[in-house]
Structure 1
Amino acid sequence: MSMRVNRVAEQMKKELGDIIGQRLKDPRIGFVTVTDVEVTGDLQQATIYISVLGKDSEKEASLEGLKKAKGFIRSEIGKRIRLRKTPEIDFAFDESVAYGNRIESLLRDVKEDESDN
Structure 2
Amino acid sequence: MANYRSGRINEEMKKEVSNIIQNKIKDPRLSAMVSVTGVDVTKDLSYAKVYVSIFGSETSKEQSLEALKSSVGFIRKEVGKKVKLRCTPKIIIELDESIEKGMHIDKILDEIKENKKHDN
Q: Which residue of 1 aligns with 2:28?
A: 27
Partner of 2:9: 8
- Give the letter aligned to residue 78 of structure 1: G
Q: Distance in 2 between matches of 1:44 and 1:108?
A: 44
Instruction: Report the aligned-residue RMSD.
Output: 1.0
What is the percent sequence identity of the aligned residues? 44
Of 32, 52, 55, the residue aligned with 1:53 is 55
TM-score normalised to the size of structure 2? 0.93
Kept after mapping to 2: 8 A contact 1:2/1:41: no
Consecutive unaligned residues of structure 1, counting only runs of 5 or more, are none
In the TM superposition, structure 1's runs of 4+ consecutive aligned residues that sit over 4 Å from their partners are none
Q: Could you say which residue in structure 2 is the equivalent of 1:63?
A: 65
Question: Residues 46-74 of structure 1, C-alpha deviation per residue, up to 9 Å, x if partnerless?
Answer: 11001111112111111100111111100
**Secondary structure at 1:2's aligned position in 2?**
helix
Counterpart of 2:25, as a letter, is: L
Q: For residues 78-113 of structure 1, what are the alpha-carbon distances to aligned partners after superposition, in whole Å with 9 as ceiling and x for unaligned? A: 000000100000111112111111110110110111
1:17 CA displacement: 1.4
Tell me the CA shift for residue 116 of structure 1: 1.3
Map 1:71-110 → 2, pairs under 5 A: 71-110=73-112
What TM-score, normalized by structure 1, do the two folds share? 0.95
Q: Work out the CA distance in 2 between the residues paired with 1:93 and 1:104.
A: 21
Figure out how many residues of one structure are paired with residues of the other and give that number: 117
